[in-house]
Structure 1
Amino acid sequence: MCTRNRIVLALFVGCWIVSAQPPATEARSSLKVDFPKDSPVAVVGFDMGDSVTTTRGSAIVIDLRTLLTLRNAGSRRLRGVTLLVSTQESAVGGRASVSVPSLNVEPGGTFPVRINLRLLRPLAPAGPLVTVTLDGALFEDLSFFGPNLLNSRRSMMVWELEAQRDRRYFKSVLSASGPEVLREKLLESLARQAARPRLDVQVTRGRATNIDAARTVQFAFLGPAGAPVEPVAGSAMVSGGEARATSLEVINRSKRTVRYFEVGLILRDDAGREYLAGSVPASDPDLNLAPGARTRVTQDSTLRFMAAGGRPLAIAGLTGYVSQVEFADGSIWIPDRRALADPRLAEVVTPSPEEQRLADLYRRKGLQAVIDELSKF
């Protein structure tokens, strides 16, 4: 077991050769975990599991299945981490990330991070097969450490604010109405998660395949009330289950400058079923939307939608709602529980990672385990 932040872990796994290429050398058959020396998250140990490499033509396919044990080396409780996992910066399929939200790790405490990824790497480059670095760590006071190459600060801030919101909600239910009503709310959450319609989405650059049959579909919009950014117009070119040239116009209704926002996308099929189809992020990396100002968001990609199991889906309507806003000072707005209680949103919006965790804790260990967990915050 190694307690340094910078370690090289040998992948003691065989190479499954499916071509005439020779196996990778020992120098390349390695996983390098490289955290900064001043990182508040330290590497304690690892378990490589059944990770394997396969040589295919001029590339190596890496099925990385490993378990890292990390330690909170900081002085505050740790709420989330994001790791950047890469084989080579410019290699297609050679970069991914692993995020762990909803943590509550005390200073000195350890926690596991499971990595289960398939990555590609050219045969030629020397050095370790895979490098794992820390992109960011978020603490209980919302302070952040890391290079933030993946904008993980924003993602983890959203998850933590959602977690705080949802814990407050469940604690208020327990305080005001008692354990049995809390049980009902957890069962309702599990039922919504099970009933939420699933949608397969493929994203491709360029034009749709059925461009001649495309028609313009105008967006409808749902609140939520109090959102700092308001969508005022939007459209997409739609053909069957494809949507392209998505365009949204929004206005900043707040008194603060906005530097990022996302509009959640709800799709309605020709049978009237609705699905959460992803989100439309602000497309300008240098967005600086002043109070009262407007901007337009466009996407040049084509989205192809299929119902779970590959069933063809015909798009009949599109609805948008503001799902998050980041201000120029780094603070973030998210919808409150009252806004998410809108029946249309409640049916399709994915519960926060924290609500899923608490509902799953109830399913596995019962009501008292959830009550005990809520008391820790």
Structure 2
Amino acid sequence: MSTRNRLAAVLFAGALAAWPQSDAVDPRSTLHITLPEDSPISVVSADWGESRATARGGAMVLDLRTSLSLRNSGQAKIRGVTLLVEAQDVTPGGKASVAVPSLDAGVGDVFPVRVDMRLMRPLQSGTGPLVTIKLDGVLFDDLSFYGPNELNSRRSMRAWEMEARRDRQYFKAILESRGPEGLREAFLSSVAALSSRPRMDVRFARGGRATNFEAEHELQFAFLRFPDSPVDPISGVARASGSEIRAPRIDVKNRSKRGVSYVEIGWILKDRNGRQFLAGSVPSSDGLDLAPGQTGKILESTSLRFSSASGRIVDIQGVTGYVSQVEFDNGEIWIPSRSSLNQSGLQGVAAPSPEEQRLTNIYVKKGLEAVIQELRKF
């Protein structure tokens, strides 16, 4: 392991003494960032900031508040990075990930990565790292990928990059056709949509069962279909009870001439008052394999429980699904076009892409001219 690709930050005993029950923490423990020898990124610096380790009973709670500076040490522009953060591989709450989409890191450029999370692990009796940060994947400008891909980050980052290109083109077209004031109106609409869009929390567990005692009823899915979608949702049914949907089953058909290895279905819920909520996207299993013209089923033996972001239980009266992402067997990704989202009415309900959120944040913090300059980089 080369020096430039391995950085260890030692948490000294004096600092550990200030933490609750720190006598159970080995003062020789370290936090490691470990990258492969041929990694296209390298570590410039790591500021562990307010990171803390606290012993609680037989477990250790790790609150990570870390700022990393990474350099593109490869030969191509980087569009995304995903890191795997592990305190314990098998313990619940022992690992997480950090993804940074919408990067524009040229060769030699340094870019920040913020790690804010809480992990758990058993109390450690010997020496060794408390937390290990590893590279799961790097996405380049040509959509090629480097990394072990343990988290399927290749698929996620390719989808985010496709969305980023779609949305940048949308805003650039507005600038060209309607000028700066037209672009300002578009971002004012994005700001309003972000602040007013209702949010939904979903708990997802394969093989789960309903836990409440309300009478179940059969719920038929409605579907929004896009003309250019390579996969068509045919039918869907689930058992519903209050805020819980159990054992949903969705039949889909591969309309394309290529094999499909993954499908993601977006969910929009309607409550008793007719309000619509985006419940997120639920993926197919990794074993999906749809040949051209073949039909298949996804989301079998699954239990989903929904609540609003404020914690209010949602009384589900209807569910609408739509195909939000497709991966072909060669790794290429399909996503809905901006016009399809607008025509279906999803643009006001579906979550904006990470890139639209990033550009909107630039507009709010720095103004219209900063957004225009950002769009001109691409």
Does the 8 Å contact 1:265/1:279 carry over to 2?
A: yes
Q: Secondary structure at the match of 1:178?
A: helix
Does the 8 Å contact 1:3/1:43 carry over to 2?
A: no
Number of equivalent positions: 373
Does the 8 Å contact 1:16/1:54 carry over to 2?
A: no
In 2: Cα distance, 1:240 partner to 1:141 partner: 46
In 2: Cα distance, 1:280 partner to 1:59 partner: 32
In 2: Cα distance, 1:297 partner to 1:192 partner: 31
Does the 8 Å contact 2:245/2:304 carry over to 1?
A: yes
In 1: Cα distance, 2:204 partner to 2:343 partner: 29
In 2: Cα distance, 1:40 partner to 1:46 partner: 18
Q: Secondary structure at the match of 1:213?
A: coil
In 2: Cα distance, 1:15 partner to 1:122 partner: 19
Q: Is 1:54 aligned to residue 48 of structure 2? A: no
- The aligned residue for residue 143 of structure 2 is 142
Q: Secondary structure at the match of 1:108?
A: coil
In 2: Cα distance, 1:15 partner to 1:142 partner: 47
Does the 8 Å contact 1:198/1:308 carry over to 2?
A: yes
- The aligned residue for residue 362 of structure 1 is 363
Deviation at 1:301? 3.3
- The aligned residue for residue 255 of structure 1 is 257
In 1: Cα distance, 2:123 partner to 2:349 partner: 44
- The aligned residue for residue 237 of structure 2 is 235
Instruction: Tell me the C-alpha RMSD between the 2 structures.
Output: 1.6
Amino acid at match of 1:295: G
Q: Is 1:275 aligned to residue 243 of structure 2? A: no
State TM-score, norm by structure 1: 0.95
CA distances 1:203-259 after superposition (whole Å, capped 9, x unpaired) = 345211236611110000002221000010101111111111111000000111101
Deviation at 1:199? 1.5
Q: Secondary structure at the match of 1:150?
A: coil
Does the 8 Å contact 2:24/2:123 carry over to 1?
A: no
In 2: Cα distance, 1:341 partner to 1:348 partner: 10
CA distances 1:136-180 after superposition (whole Å, capped 9, x unpaired) = 000111111100000000000000011011111111111111111
In 1: Cα distance, 2:129 partner to 2:42 partner: 20
- The aligned residue for residue 376 of structure 2 is 375
- The aligned residue for residue 246 of structure 1 is 248
Amino acid at match of 1:167: R
Amino acid at match of 2:100: V
State TM-score, norm by structure 2: 0.95
Deviation at 1:344? 3.2
Deviation at 1:15? 5.3
| Matched ranges for 1:39-188 at <5 A | 39-124=39-124, 126=126, 127-188=128-189
In 2: Cα distance, 1:120 partner to 1:245 partner: 31
Does the 8 Å contact 2:16/2:27 carry over to 1?
A: no
In 1: Cα distance, 2:287 partner to 2:310 partner: 39
- The aligned residue for residue 22 of structure 1 is 23
Q: What's the % identity of the aligned pairs?
A: 54
In 2: Cα distance, 1:341 partner to 1:120 partner: 43
Name structure 2 gaps, 5 residues minimum: none
